[in-house]
Structure 1
Amino acid sequence: MLKHNTLAILISVALASTPALATSQVADSVAPEVASGTSSKTSVSAKDYMVAAANPLAAKAGYEVLKAGGSAADALVAVQVMLGLVEPQSSGLGGGAFLVYYDAKTKQVTTFDGRETAPLAATPALFQNADGSTMKFYDAVVGGRSVGTPGTVKLLESVHKRYGKQSWESLLKPAISQAQQGFIVSPRLAGSIAADAERLSRYPDTKAYFFNEDGSPLSAGQRLKNQKYADTLTTLAGNGADAFYNGKIAQDIVSRVRSAADNPGVLSTRDFAAYQVKERPATCAPYHQYDVCGMGPPSSGALTVGQILGISSHFDLKSLGKDNPQSWQVIGDASRLAFADRGRYMADSDYVPMPQGLLDPSYLAERAKLITLGTALSKEQVTAGEPAWGSTQKVALADDESIELPSTSHFVIADKEGNIVSMTTTIENGFGSRLMSNGFLLNNELTDFSFASHKNGYPIANRLEPGKRPRSSMSPSIVMKDDAPYMAIGSPGGSRIIGYVANTLIAHFDWDMTIQDAINLPHLVNRFGTYDLEKGTSAEQFKTPLETMGYKVNVRDLNSGIHAILLKDNKLTGAADPRREGEVYGD
């Protein structure tokens, strides 16, 4: 067994700055999960199979499945249910996920949408006050109002039924056993609890789980058991996802949501019974000799990553190099232009018509002409473009600034048969709604919708509607080369996910960096005009040059969690982000 060489245990647990209340729903600048320091990691090589995930216990669970002859689909079940136990602040049974899957038999990439849905009783006014103004952001997040119908459990079962080899029950056993025995609280989890102590203390079940009897938050190194989670998984092991969506578990979740003190929601058992996982065609964008394939709407990930790469391809980033501020000007303004399109056009395409030309090379070439080396685009220059609508009926839409917070988890898996998994999974904010049911946290995914339904008389594409799936930035990706898988990659991080993934691909493809070095590269991310530079890294050297070009610059923690597997030269090379606690295992 090969695993990451972690030369230094987490150096520090630096608490991220989290304002108590956001005054309105604007671009997501908060970091609700803590920065857990960095560890020195090197890539791992293997011949047959590999898994990279955000927690060693989760990665090991997937590895053991692969070692026993299981498929990538089998391993993803084991990884996810373990993550829900040991990294509960980021994902779990109470959330949703997007999966990009390469099927070695058909040689095709497809995607599975396990995104949460808005309750059928929800209205566009869910996050609006009586006078029509929008709620303060964290007033909306904490409690039942923000909880959407979870999709993760049905996604796991759907994919396992289609591609799995081992028994469903066997894949849940390791997490059941771990929940009963307890697991060691990691520095990241402990820091996250401490940083969010007030909100986690509002609900009795949540407080009882994450705090000691004396009221102090759990510390790193403590053993934490979760018998309720073990009981839930035991029920699912024997009865499948139906026990989650059509039984006592759903009833209990609905009860918790509707009775949440101060902020009840409208979720119902009807929403659970109606929930469906949707298989959707992959959205692919060309970049050099590669095709970057990912999740289309309701995710904005693949479209926005594809736009950034497509616009950037009109500049010689290879010659400019990673140390040239002009490279970051190109990438930053390409991102701003892509985010302008994202804000106006991208949403759940089952509900909102979308232009078909967002990735058209001629459209992206025109967008690239807006960029002049040496001078940042002005705020007035960064507006949504006019892509072709094709056969879709054009509609007038308003721009949207809805928040998507940087929590979430990403893992990648490759099995011996050549099947590939790239999955991003979430409960949205760190610790989601802060409500617990049956041993797991419930999502706050509905706050990914725009709180306002209209702006300047025009509808907002990402407005809340009954049954609709909120827009996401999750960007699980599989890169293809010559019709074969070349890389699986993704990251957590709210809407910065898009920049994390795009920058890593550029670093690898244009600057010839190894996949580990590309992941390690300090972050520079620009979405809405302000250039975020990763604190305490060499990215800070670009502060003055970027300010000279006209950017507002903010130096801050940027807590990605990129995991990737490279398929090259008849071997697998896996890499985990040094900013989190992830590991890679393979043989």
Structure 2
Amino acid sequence: MLAVLLAWPSAWATGVPELLLKAGIEKAEVRDKEDINPEIATGRGRSQFSQAAHYMVSSANPLATQAGVDILAEGGSAADAIIAVQLVLNLVEPQSSGIGGGGFLIGYDAATQKVQAYDGRETAPETARGNRFMQGGKAIAFKDAVNSGLSVGTPGLLRMLGQVHGEHGKLEWARLFEPAIQLAEQGFEVSPRLHAMLDENAELRRQEASAAYFYDEKGRAWPVGHVLKNPALAQVLRDIAKNGPDAFYQGKVARHMVDAVAGHLVPGDLNLRDLAGYRSIEREPLCAPYKVYVLCGVPPPSSGPLAIIQMMTILSHTPIADLPPVSPEAVHYFSEAGRLAFADRAVYVADPDFADIPVKALLDPQYLRLRADLIMPKRTIGKAPPGDPVGMLAVRGEDTSPELPSTTHIVVVDREGSVMSMTSSIESAFGSKIFVDGFLLNNQLTDFSLSDVDAQNKLVVNRLEPGKRPRSSMSPMLVLKDGKPYMAIGSPGGASIINFVAKVLVGVLDWNLSLQEAIDLPNFGSRNHYTDLEKDTVLRDVAEDLRAMGHEVREVDFPSGLQGIRLTPDGLEGGADPRREGVAAGG
């Protein structure tokens, strides 16, 4: 069995977990496969594993997990807990998510046995136009687009959480804000990860309000262990706790957001009408069979679950399930499936309220069998071409815009058996860097194509339009078995979220690994260009074999942050990515 360090509540209730206890390689036997004995790298940090009988939370920070567990212990629902967790993450993990951003959520309601998907993605301001990030007929530098008022979309997270609470909450709305308010007023210790990200971020220092909060008077990042207080955010949260999401989308806080965006050196045009008019959307979940399971995720404008289901279906036509997890052949097949899925993603996925997204055709089993036939056992296909299942390819441009990896994920299972899996984000690290009333605003508009057309002058479906939601890779997922939840997972990581989540699905569903063992596997995959291998892991031993197959290999940092819970006959099995500060715990 894979050696793991057990992380029970006592290990995290006192604050930030100990990090970097062990970096290196551990060996594991893949259960139920006597002929396979791969080495599995556990990533940087410690391997997390937790079990519980009745309820559980897995999140990116121990203080946030603590808040969620406390809510569940009081009899709160999964919806209640996920809100409390997210509000604490806004405070202690500000680089990744918060009320200034958006998210997607998929849930299973035990009472109705219904799967529901919620879209809290940001929208483009009403005055936004497709040339927003263009100068002289060319797209501006991506970094310049990010660090500006132009990148700020209308935040959607709070509207979505309010909608979810209205339908599934048990405890009072105001109760869910108490953990974050208390921490904001009394202070929390700066974690190693937050310190490191502050230390390396030059753009954040250039914003006066951000610099005053995140750095000392000499511009130095607050050290690890420094107690950081945020009374401004505490007051905003008190107002929202008392008056609901309208306290954010209208009134003083809304005016402050609009003024901050307009007052940036490169001003944006977010206005009060954008904020007051924002609505979250319940969408039809995207579900498809996979062997004895059903995979469910949020639909477009997220591209994540669609691409993951494509990958998994394509891989079902390969021998990957019978291969050692870190073998050259397994990495090859997985990467090739990723190439094919990302090729389709670049052409077809955008906001379904603005364009026809051929989801059914892209998931058609016959179409995916034909895509799988493109994979060669011993040779990469290189840059994969998009398919053309409905005759749209001639008029669809390719969008290869980057998507940056600062995001977070939360999974909750309550004592009734309801499950919620939510990915939320402000996009890049610290978003737009615009700091308002104790929270950061997103830069999600850079998830649109920076240009309306591609190199062949074909219109890009993910182009920027007023009121539109940008394409995303966020991939909150549920796995059902016999109609009941079997596993809920998700990860941060920008476009690599798709690779991270698919790797864990293959690990658990095909390689019979435990959830934590699958998370601990080194990360690998392709987004239809390089084949990326997580550096300083056992994957270094397969790089030359992959190059011999024609892969253009990169060994890179691959910082997933996957959180997950598996529901077993013996109780709940929690997993948290050792590459970050997350932990799973319950009762």
Contact 1:476–1:490 under 8 Å retained in 2: yes
Over residues 70-120 of structure 1, what are the superposed CA-to-partner deviations in whole Å (9 max), with x where a residue is unaligned?
000100110010000000000001000100010111111111000000001
**AA partner of residue 279 (structure 2):** Q
Could you say if the C-alpha distance between residues 151 and 395 of structure 1 is closer, same or farther in structure 2, counting changes exceeding 3 Å? farther
Return the match for 1:110 from 110, 113, 116. Answer: 116
Return the match for 2:276 from 259, 265, 273. Answer: 273
Could you say if the C-alpha distance between residues 12 and 401 of structure 1 is closer, same or farther in structure 2, counting changes exceeding 3 Å? farther
Write the distance in 2 (CA, Å) between the matches of 1:394 and 1:528. Answer: 17
- TM-fit CA distance, 1:157: 1.1
Could you say if the C-alpha distance between residues 415 and 8 of structure 1 is closer, same or farther in structure 2, counting changes exceeding 3 Å? closer
Contact 1:406–1:495 under 8 Å retained in 2: yes
Write the distance in 1 (CA, Å) between the matches of 2:205 and 2:332. Answer: 43
Stretch deviating more after TM superposition (322-331 or 523-532) = 322-331
Q: Which residue does the alignment assign to 2:38?
A: none
Return the match for 2:236 from 232, 235, 253. Answer: 232
Return the match for 2:199 from 183, 188, 194. Answer: 194
Pairing of 1:339-488 with structure 2 (within 5 A): 339-355=342-358, 356-379=360-383, 382-388=384-390, 396-455=395-454, 456-488=456-488
Contact 1:398–1:460 under 8 Å retained in 2: yes
**AA partner of residue 522 (structure 2):** P
Return the match for 2:59 from 53, 61, 66. Answer: 53
Classify the secondary structure of the residue corresponding to 2:580: coil
1:124 aligns with 2:130: yes
Over residues 388-440 of structure 1, what are the superposed CA-to-partner deviations in whole Å (9 max), with x where a residue is unaligned?
47xxx998211110111011000100001111010001000000000000100
Return the match for 1:87 from 93, 112, 116. Answer: 93
Contact 1:4–1:584 under 8 Å retained in 2: no
CA-atom RMSD, angstroms?
A: 1.8
Could you state the TM-score of these two structures normalised by the residue count of structure 2? 0.93
Return the match for 2:19 from 5, 10, 33. Answer: 10
Q: Which residue does the alignment assign to 1:18?
A: none
1:332 aligns with 2:335: yes
1:492 aligns with 2:492: yes
**AA partner of residue 256 (structure 1):** A
Classify the secondary structure of the residue corresponding to 1:458: coil
- TM-fit CA distance, 1:254: 0.5
Contact 1:295–1:476 under 8 Å retained in 2: yes
Q: Which residue does the alignment assign to 2:144?
A: 139
Q: Which residue does the alignment assign to 1:252?
A: 256
Could you say if the C-alpha distance between residues 8 and 448 of structure 1 is closer, same or farther in structure 2, counting changes exceeding 3 Å? closer
Write the distance in 2 (CA, Å) between the matches of 1:8 and 1:200. Answer: 26
Write the distance in 2 (CA, Å) between the matches of 1:378 and 1:53. Answer: 36
Write the distance in 1 (CA, Å) between the matches of 2:347 and 2:250. Answer: 37
1:516 aligns with 2:516: yes
Question: Structure 2: where are the runs of 5+ without partners?
Answer: 1-6, 24-41
Q: Which residue does the alignment assign to 1:168?
A: 173
Stretch deviating more after TM superposition (517-526 or 311-320) = 311-320
Contact 1:529–1:551 under 8 Å retained in 2: no
Write the distance in 1 (CA, Å) between the matches of 2:528 and 2:227. Answer: 42
Question: Structure 1: where are the runs of 5+ without partners?
Answer: 15-35
Could you state the TM-score of these two structures normalised by the residue count of structure 1? 0.93
Q: Which residue does the alignment assign to 2:220?
A: 216
Could you say if the C-alpha distance between residues 331 and 5 of structure 1 is closer, same or farther in structure 2, counting changes exceeding 3 Å? farther
- TM-fit CA distance, 1:40: 2.0
1:290 aligns with 2:293: yes
Write the distance in 2 (CA, Å) between the matches of 1:8 and 1:349. Answer: 41
Could you say if the C-alpha distance between residues 466 and 12 of structure 1 is closer, same or farther in structure 2, counting changes exceeding 3 Å? farther
Count of aligned residue pairs for this structure pair: 558
Return the match for 1:41 from 25, 38, 47. Answer: 47
1:157 aligns with 2:189: no
Write the distance in 2 (CA, Å) between the matches of 1:272 and 1:323. Answer: 47
Pairing of 1:308-327 with structure 2 (within 5 A): 308-327=311-330
- Percent identity over the alignment? 46
Q: Which residue does the alignment assign to 1:73?
A: 79
